Amino acid sequence: MKLNSNVRNVIIIIVLAAIVACLSAGRTAATVVTQAISLGFLAAIVWIATRLYREHRTAVYSLGTRRRWILYTALGVAALTLTATDRLWNTSGLGAIAWIVLIAGAAYALYAVYRSTKEY
């Protein structure tokens, strides 16, 4: 019997969730499994980003140096801000405001680069 790939993926996620739930009695084991799953998802995201970059490398280089610099900076700011979400939100209101400003600035920069590629 051949399973559909979507059904197979859902079964894998359910099995991983069951393993984490069963191991939650031992906090160390649950932490290790949770970290392993997180690293797996991070590796998948990096792999997808690498594939997308390789497929669209010509389009990225055709942006020009200035727009490419803005694109890379915006992606870096967004990644660092998302990484520091817990620290920024757990501070007083100033951290939350900084988080919103950084994410909004990165989103605007990405949108500006996108719009500039669609202009003639």
pLDDT in tens, 28-63: 766 777 778 888 888 888 889 899 989 989 988 888
Share of the chain above pLDDT 90, in %: 34
Considering the domain architecture, whether residues 33 and 65 belong to the same structural domain is answered as no
pLDDT digits (tens, 9 = 90+) for 86-98: 888 888 788 889 9
Distance CA 31, CA 19 (A): 12
Which pLDDT score, from 0 to 100, does residue 13 have?
A: 84
**Tokens 């906090």, located at residue:** 27
Handedness of CA 49, 51, 52, 53 (dihedral sign): positive
DSSP 3-62: PPHHHHHHHHHHHHHHHHHHGGGSHHHHHHHHHHHHHHHHHHHHHHHHHHHHHTHHHHHT
Report pLDDT for 75: 93
- Domain co-membership, 44 together with 99: no
Tell me the C-alpha distance between 17 and 11, whole Å.
Answer: 10
Whole-number Å distance between alpha carbons of 50 and 106: 20
The arithmetic mean of pLDDT across residues 94-117, rounded, is 92
Could you tell me if 99 and 46 lie in one domain? no
pTM tops 0.85: no
Report the C-alpha gap between 102 and 51 in whole angstroms.
27
Domains contained in the chain, number: 2
- pLDDT, position 72: 93
Query: Is there a single domain that holds both residue 80 and residue 64?
Result: yes
Domain encompassing residue 101? 58-120
Q: End of a domain among 55, 75, 100? A: 55
